[in-house]
């Protein structure tokens, strides 16, 4: 085995060992993040359980329009004429 072959083999071996260590580092960091999220969730749930429940506000009914159901809308031709006389281009 030549010196060049040995150097190349060492480089491959070192690269493989660095990859394994970086995977371990990433796994440790991921576990730390997940543990922190679980802790924060537990704290949030405990805080929410300690607070009294706020009453749910009932939805407000919409105000009815000023137009009565007996009134009909103006005809389209009348409406267009009103728009044109008002200065609108339709």
The predicted-structure confidence for 22-69, as pLDDT tens digits, reads as follows 888 899 999 999 999 999 999 999 999 999 887 777 777 777 666 566
DSSP state of 87: T
pLDDT of residue 69: 62
Two tokens, residue 67 = 């137009």
pLDDT at site 67: 58
Task: Fill in the DSSP letter of residue 61.
Answer: P
- The yes-or-no verdict on residue 84 having pLDDT over 90 is no
Q: Residue 18 region, left (φ>0) first, then alpha (ψ -120 to 50), else beta? A: alpha
pLDDT of residue 36: 97
Tell me how long the chain is.
90
Model confidence pLDDT, tens digit, residues 4-17: 888 888 888 787 77
Q: What share of the chain is helix, strand, coil (3-state, %, to 5)?
A: 65, 0, 35
Q: What is the pTM of this model?
A: 0.41
Instruction: Give the Cα separation of 10 and 4 in Å (integer).
Output: 10
pLDDT: which is higher, 88 or 74? 74
Distance CA 61, CA 63 (A): 6
């Amino acid at each position: 085995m030549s010196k060049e072959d040995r150097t190349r083999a060492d480089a491959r071996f070192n690269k493989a060992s660095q990859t394994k260590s970086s995977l371990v580092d990433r796994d440790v960091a991921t576990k730390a993040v997940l543990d922190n999220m679980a802790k924060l969730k537990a704290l949030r749930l405990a805080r929410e359980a300690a607070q009294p429940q706020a009453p749910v506000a009932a939805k407000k009914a919409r105000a009815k329009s000023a137009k009565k159901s007996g009134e009909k809308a103006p005809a389209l031709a009348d409406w267009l004429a009103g728009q044109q006389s008002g200065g609108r281009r339709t």
